[in-house]
Amino acid sequence: MTELPGLNIIITDRLVLRPLVHTDRDAIYTLRSNAQVATCFANKKPQTRAEFGVWLKQVMEDGKEKCVGHCVELRVSSQREGKKREAGEKENIQNGENGPVSVDEKQREKKVIGLIGAHQVPEIGYMFLPQYWGKGYATEALKAWMLWYWEAFPGDNEDRGYLKAMTRLGAVDSRNVLQKCGFRWRDKFQLELEQYEEERKQEATEGKKYLTVDVWIVEGPRLRRNSGASS
């Protein structure tokens, strides 16, 4: 697993979004192998270690030029952050050092609670551990990630001018998050389910499997300006 180049840390009121690194492998597997998290997958199946390895290679190595992903961590609360900063400053003084504690150290809980980004630009996705559902973290993270994305990739490339997401039919929570972040429903789509090695052997007799999903679109600032100028 390689680190994605050119990505920045994004800080919100409650979260820190940071680029994926090689040491995140186990944390990401914990997410993708969780049965509750898997209910949001197209095939609703938690990934095995072998399946996760295939997925990770496809995303992080084979498709790394189109992968723009961040891990989501909790941000240290203001009270704890102050104590941590004070302790860090004392340690610096004792060590004969000057300067503030790095943002990375003073504001991160250092526990991955979610994953967000575009594994195949322009399609975005996100997932969080179940104990962090219903707290507004997904909306907060996606809004911040989108602001960063439009600044980092202003839309000179056609694929970068908009973002899209796909949700299972009836996925109310996911739909609400997307709508709060400006996405609009575009269409329904027949999605071919992912076929891993052990499932491909059955494909000849059972045929390919498909799932109908909702497709959501949000335009970037450049496309919105262009459509406004032409209207």
pLDDT, tens digit, 9 for 90 and up, residues 12-68: 999 999 988 878 999 999 999 999 999 888 778 899 999 999 888 877 775 566 678
Nearest to 177 by CA among 146, 214, 138: 138
| Whole-number pLDDT of residue 228 | 54
Q: Flag the least confident range among 67-76, 125-134, 219-228.
A: 219-228
pLDDT exceeds 50 at position 152: yes
| Whole-number pLDDT of residue 166 | 93
| Whole-number pLDDT of residue 6 | 55
Per residue in 52-71, pLDDT (tens digit) is: 998 888 777 755 666 788 99
| Whole-number pLDDT of residue 206 | 63
Rounded to 10 degrees, what is the CA torsion of 165, 71, 20, 4?
A: 40
| Whole-number pLDDT of residue 21 | 82
Q: How confident is the model at residue 195 (pLDDT cuts 50, 70, 90)?
A: low
pLDDT exceeds 90 at position 201: no
Q: Which residue type sits at 214?
A: D
Q: How confident is the model at residue 156 (pLDDT cuts 50, 70, 90)?
A: low
pLDDT exceeds 70 at position 5: no
More confident residue, 72 or 204: 72
Per residue in 83-133, pLDDT (tens digit) is: 554 444 344 334 444 333 344 556 677 899 999 998 788 899 999 999 999
Which domains are assigned to the chain?
A: 10-230 (3.40.630.30)
| Whole-number pLDDT of residue 182 | 97
The CB density around residue 104, as the number of other CB atoms within 10 Å, is: 11
Average pLDDT, the chain: 78
Three-state secondary structure string covering the chain: CCCCCCCCCEECCCEEEEECCHHHHHHHHHHHCCHHHHCCCCCCCCCCHHHHHHHHHHHHHHCHHHCEEEEEEEECCHHHHHHHHHHHHHHHHHCCCCCCCCHHHHHEEEEEEEEEEEEECCEEEEEECHHHCCCCHHHHHHHHHHHHHHHHCCCCCHHHCEEEEEEECCCHHHHHHHHHCCCEEEEEEEEECCCCHHHHHHHHHHCCCEEEEEEEEEECHHHHHHHHHHC
More confident residue, 160 or 135: 135
